[in-house]
């Protein structure tokens, strides 16, 4: 049993448990009728999460719970399907977040070509010319679609006076 296996089995339920418990705790700040429904749902979800954590154990209780809820008594070995590296996954999220931050700062019309070119030419190593054409093509498409056809003004970035 390694840390990766343990994390795969228990981490999601533990994170969801923390999220749900935060609702339980916060709900007591509100009046009884306002908190009633979310509190009931949160408590039920906590019970389900505890069952999920027990179902991940490699003992008799875990086996019984797995058989009841999933119809299978065995635990999946490791992560299902392909197992991408955590570094690659974090990298993927960072690319999206970086694009978002850039769009907030300078708006979509600058962020899109910068991001598309950087992603294609640097990250996936496509030819620079094709990367540039793709980047400009996407901006042109979005401009025609939103600004010309739909008359939707697109965000221009907080640095250029855009309103969030």
Tell me which of 93, 129, 148, 161 binds other proteins, using CB under 8 A: 93
- Buried b / exposed e over 104-113, threshold 16 CB at 10 Å, is bebbbbbbbb
Whole-number Å distance between alpha carbons of 133 and 121 = 11
Q: Shortest CA distance to 62 belongs to which of 20, 28, 98, 13? A: 13
Span 11-70, contacts to other proteins by CB under 8 A = 11-13, 16, 19-20, 23, 26-27, 30-31, 33-35, 37-38, 41-42, 44-45, 48-49, 51-52, 55, 65, 69-70
Alpha helix (H) ranges present in the chain? 3-27, 32-55, 60-70, 86-106, 108-117, 128-142
Provide the minimum distance between the beta carbon of 120 and other proteins in the complex, in angstroms, as a whole number: 6
Span 95-134, contacts to other proteins by CB under 8 A = 95-97, 99-100, 103-104, 108, 112, 115-116, 119-120, 124, 126, 134
Q: Is 87 near other proteins (CB under 8 A)?
A: no
Tell me which of 88, 129, 148, 161 binds other proteins, using CB under 8 A: 88
Whole-number Å distance between alpha carbons of 79 and 5 = 8
Provide the minimum distance between the beta carbon of 80 and other proteins in the complex, in angstroms, as a whole number: 6
Whole-number Å distance between alpha carbons of 36 and 143 = 47
Q: Which residues contact 139 (CB under 8 A, 6 or more apart)?
A: 109, 112, 113
Q: Given the rule CB under 8 A, which residues bind other proteins?
A: 8, 11-13, 16, 19-20, 23, 26-27, 30-31, 33-35, 37-38, 41-42, 44-45, 48-49, 51-52, 55, 65, 69-72, 76, 79-80, 82, 84, 88-89, 91-93, 95-97, 99-100, 103-104, 108, 112, 115-116, 119-120, 124, 126, 134-135, 138, 142, 145-146, 150, 152-155, 162, 164
């Amino acid at each position: 049993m390694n840390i990766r296996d343990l994390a795969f089995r228990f981490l999601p339920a533990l994170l969801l448990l923390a999220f749900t418990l935060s609702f339980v705790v916060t709900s007591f700040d509100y009046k009884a009728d306002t908190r009633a429904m979310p509190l009931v749902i949160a408590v039920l979800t906590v019970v389900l999460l505890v069952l999920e954590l027990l179902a991940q154990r490699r003992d008799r209780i875990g086996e019984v719970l797995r058989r009841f809820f999933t119809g299978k008594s065995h635990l999946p070995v490791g992560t299902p399907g392909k197992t991408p590296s955590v570094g690659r996954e974090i990298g993927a999220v960072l690319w999206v977040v970086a694009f978002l931050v850039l769009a907030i700062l300078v708006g979509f019309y600058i962020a899109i070509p910068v991001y598309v070119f950087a992603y294609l030419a640097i990250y996936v190593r496509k030819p620079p010319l094709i990367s540039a054409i793709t980047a400009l093509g996407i901006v042109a498409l979005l401009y025609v679609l939103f600004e010309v056809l739909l008359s939707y003004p697109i965000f221009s970035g907080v640095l250029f006076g855009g309103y969030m």
